[in-house]
Structure 1
């Protein structure tokens, strides 16, 4: 006979699926949200594809900086394609909750987190490219060789895949006591929050924190250090040099700030207000994916002079020389 002191709800249960009930927070205005997110998705696909096409088709843009820009935009397309289509279908169906298998939930969390953390590493690679270009111009062609660019790309893509994959593997081994999440999509932190606690949960949380430090915090510190060095060099040079150098760095800084603010708000909201404001939690999780993907092509298309000039030519706003 079970002791009266045992809390039955805290015992592990066999969980094979997870229920995502975040759609309930959007159900009253589901058609508005459907058209809103559809427009955002289509705009992102068209604008990202246009910028990537311009970069790939113009030999004058075949430089390391634009290679990293292309990689960031490709990450945006991939992450959005994992997120938007299913959300749009669920909104159109009018469902208030969605049940997904635990395996599918883990795969979704792995893909979204791998692509998200990869973007931070790509931004760090961009800052390194700008640092070498402005602070060590004589070494630029040697340091930023095609082999170096390829190695950086592989590092930025494969390192998050391995680190996040291990985090997902640890989360998949946790004994779960609940199977319901007030979310639109699966994420590792929420999956860990379903566990019953104990040593394995603590290990998973510590590892997740180390992944955030390695793929978000350290790249962010490196970005700040690189652009601080660039600013220091610009202050010692002529006004025309400084203006040109800073103009090439500004778009990357805007993208970096956008990613940092979106990620920071999402992390703080989940850890400090989880469960108390479900509507805010759902909207924050959506905007974390939506805002960077919509913001990125706008910044690169309008703020990067070389891309803007080629876009104007392509769209017929300016005659080719």
Structure 2
């Protein structure tokens, strides 16, 4: 056992079995991260610079892309540094910060998806009241909700974790996660409060999922009656639905594996499950919205056409 008073540095052993492929992995990761930055920043700039896109749906999409930049910044730079070292390490404080960023990012994604579902519900099911309900004030409140709620919940989780007495400094992962740090506690440490907060968090975001399903049931029911509404649903809701399914599957695999997963699975597969929510949603979402939403697609097409003309 490590002396609990000196556990101020964690070792990350998730890369132990990839020593011979580190240069290739570093190159691919760097290119992939640059693409994530390029796609998300491009969507943000297109929305910010085009006044025709200053509508609730696009502002929420902009928030979605900002969240992707926030979450990936907590993983990729550190991961790229770790690929260049033989024994990756992270300080105790940096580990807690990374754990906070990883899962506040994931929770914010689900909160933003819930707010986007609410926006589409109003636009399709209550079009006559849409502008009176989705005012600038209401929109700013919803955006703040989607960011502050996850930060508060995860802040409480991390604060509780920081009070634990740890008896190990070895993290068998590519990055720090709150539950993994909790599992390093000494046997004498009480985690009953952690379990209560963890289950409360699961219930809160399960309710987010129920709300999204409820809004889609109403939208589908409404769209069946009108050809115009069906077109609007396919145009604006299908990208949102694709983003939601991508997020749910990736985060569900990670949470289930972290809580109940077997250590007998191949190590590479465990790493893949752990970082799925950092691989697919931040990369796929801007592509889905960029190609599917007409205004953004036309804006991108206009920029490409102007560049070719020059």
TM-score scaled by structure 2?
A: 0.93
Aligned to 1:194, the other structure's residue is in SS state coil
Deviations 1:1-28 (A, max 9, x none): xxxxxxxx5x983322221111213222
What is residue 234 of structure 1 aligned with on the other side?
A: 223
Is residue 13 from structure 1 mapped to residue 1 from structure 2 by the alignment?
no
**What is the TM-score of this pair, normalised by structure 1?**
0.90
Residue matched to 1:156? 146
Q: For the Cα contact (< 8 Å) 1:174–1:195, is it kept in 2?
A: yes
The corresponding residue for 2:45 is 53
Match of 2:240 among 237, 247, 252: 252
Q: Which residue of 2 aligns with 1:6?
A: none
2:71 corresponds to = 79
Where 2:168 maps in the other structure, the secondary structure is coil
Give the drift of 1:257: 0.6
Q: CA deviation at 1:81?
A: 1.5
Structure 1: 5+ residue runs without aligned partners? 1-8
In the other structure, the counterpart of 1:27 is 19
The two structures, once aligned, show a CA RMSD in angstroms of: 2.0
Specify the alignment match of 2:108 in structure 1: 118
Instruction: Name the CA distance, whole Å, in 1 between partners of 2:89 and 2:31.
Output: 26
Q: 2:29 aligned with 1:41, yes or no? A: no
- CA 1:223/1:39 → structure 2, altered by over 3 Å: closer, same or farther? same
1:212 positional shift: 2.7
SS of 2:175 mapped into structure 1: coil
2:158 to 168, 177, 189: 168
Q: Distance in 2 between matches of 1:163 and 1:12?
A: 30
CA distance in 2, matches of 1:154, 1:212: 20
Query: CA offsets, 1:223-281, max 9 Å, x none?
Result: 111111100100122x2431222321000010011110000011112222253333322
Q: How far apart are the structure 2 equivalents of 1:319 and 1:64?
A: 32
Offset, 1:283: 2.0
Within 2, Cα distance between the matches of 1:27 and 1:253? 39
Q: Which runs of 5+ in 2 are unaligned?
A: none
Shift of residue 318, structure 1, vs aligned partner = 10
Q: What is the CA distance between 1:104 and its match in structure 2? A: 1.1
Q: Which residue of 2 aligns with 1:130?
A: 120
Equivalent residue pairs, number: 307
Paired with 1:318 and 1:184, the residues of 2 have a C-alpha distance of 41
User: Does the residue aligned with 1:69 lie in a helix, a strand or coil?
Assistant: helix
Contact kept? 1:55, 1:66, Cα under 8 Å: yes
| Residue matched to 1:286 | 275
Moved over 6 A (4+): 317-320
